[in-house]
Chains A and B, each alone.
Chain A
Amino acid sequence: MSNMEKEPMFSMKNIKTLTGPLNKNNPITVQVLGICSALAVTVKLKPAIVMALSVTIVVAVSNLVIAAMRKYIPDRIRIIVQLVVIATLVILVDQFLKAYVFDVSKQLSVFVGLIITNCIIMGRLEAFAMANKPWPSFIDGLGNGGGYGIILIVVAFIRELLGSGTIYGYPVIEKLGIYKTGYENNGMVILPPMALILIGLIIWFQRSRNKELIEK
C-alpha cells in the first residue's frame, strides 16, 4: 500500500470508471445484465426512479464494503460473502422503503427483494471490487447503478407517456387535450414485451451512434 502513488480522488481513471457504464459499457444495453427488472418496473416513472436509486445504492455500497475487505475474504467462500453483503443491503433498503416510501414499496413489491439476484451487482463485485481499492470500487458502483438507472428511466418515461398518458403521474395528454382528437392510450406499451422492444430500440440507437460497439 505504502509504495503506491497517491491517486487524486477524481483522476482521469476514476472519472472513466464513473462515465464508462453510462454509455459505452452500459450494464443493460451493452452487457445485457439486469434485463428482468428493467421489464418489470418500468410501467411508471416513479417506481423506476426508486428502483434505479435502490440499485445504485446497493451496488455502490456493496462494492465499497467488498473492496474494503477484499484482502480478508477467503477466496473459497467469496461468492457467499458477496451474497451476504448484497442481501443485507437489499433487506435494509426494502425495510427502509416500507417504512418511509410505503406507496412505492407497494408498487415495487417483490422486485426490491429481487435486487439480490440482479446480475449487475454480483458482476461488479466479482469483476471490479475484488481487485480494486474501495474508492474506485464505490465510483464503479455509482457508474453502473447510474447506467442501469438511465435506461430504466428512459424506458419508463416512454411507457408511462404512451401507455397511461401521464408523466410522473401528471396527466400530460389530458391537459394538452389530445384525447379530444380521438387519440387513445396504447395498452400494449404497458405489457412487458413492449419494454423488451423498447430496450432493443435503445440498443439499436446506441450502436448506430457508437461504431466501437458493433461486433464484427
Chain B
Amino acid sequence: MKQFSNRYIFIFSTVMVVAVASLLSLAATLFKPAQEKNLEIEKKRSMLESIGVSATRNDTEELYDKYITESFVLNYKGDPVEGVDAFTVVLRNEQKKKIEEQDLPVFRAFPDDGEKVLILPVEGKGLWGPIYGYVSLRSDLNTIYGVNFDHKGETPGLGAEINTTRFESMFKGKKLFENGKFVSIKVHKGGADPNDIHGVDAISGGTITSRGLEKMLFDCLSKYNDYFNKTRI
C-alpha cells in the first residue's frame, strides 16, 4: 500500500468534508418543502381523527377545510388573543413559558352529525419521549366527543398502544367536570368501572405512559378552565 504524506491526508479530509457538507445542505434544502408539508398534513389528520373522521394522506386537506373551519387563540383567562394563528402555535414551546404568556389554541369543527365541537391540542411526557394529541369536546364543553393520541417513541405493544382505536374509543362520552368542578379524566390501572364517567382503563404494561397521559390531559385541559366556565353560561 502506498504511503501518503500528512499533507495529502489533511487535504484529502478537508476536500471530503467540504464536499459532503455541501451535498447534505443541498439535499436538506431540496427536501424541506416536502417534509414540512408532511408534518402539516399529519397535524391536520390527527385533528380530523379526534372528531372521528378518518382521512388518508390524499384527502386530508380537503376534509380539514370541510370540517374544521374556525380557529382562535386564548390566554389562560379565556380571553381571545389577537394576531396569532392557532395552527402555527407549537404547544411544546408554549409550555416552557409562564402561564400568563401562553397561547392556547382552539379549533372549532362541525362534523356531519350536527354537533359543534371544540378541538384542543394536548402535549405531555410519556416514558421515552413526548406524547401528544387532540381532545375534542361537545358543545356542552364537558363531554368528550373523541380523542386522538400519538407518541414519539413509546414501547411498541405497551405504551405505544395509546394511539390505537381500542384505547382512544374509551374516551368517547366521558366527562371532564363533576358538579361544575374540573376533574379531568383518570386512567385506572387494572381497569376502570364501566359506569365511571371520568375514568378509562390504563394500558397493561404501559403504566408510566398511562400516568403521563393522565397528567397531560389534566395539565393541558385545566388551562382552558376559565374559558369553559365563561362560555358555558
Contacts and interface: CB of A to CB of B under 8 A. Distances in A.
B38 A81 contact: no
Contacts of A91: 24, 27
Nearest to A95: B31
Contacts of B31: 95-96, 98-99
B13 A77 contact: yes
B163 to A, nearest CB: 11
A92 B12 contact: no
Contacts of A74: 4, 8-9, 12
A92 B27 contact: yes
Nearest to B31: A99
Interface stretch (B15-23, B93-101, B221-229): B15-23
A43 B35 CA distance: 25
B178 interface: no
B42 interface: yes
A52 to B, nearest CB: 19
Interface string B164-195: 00000000000000000000000000000000
- 8 nearest A-B residue pairs (beta carbon): A99-B34, A74-B4, A102-B38, A99-B31, A190-B157, A95-B31, A74-B9, A99-B35
Interface of B: 1-2, 4, 8-9, 12-13, 16-17, 20, 23-24, 27-28, 31, 34-35, 38, 41-42, 57, 152-153, 156-157
Given A43-B156, A102-B35, 4 more contacts: A75-B1, A95-B35, A96-B31, A109-B153
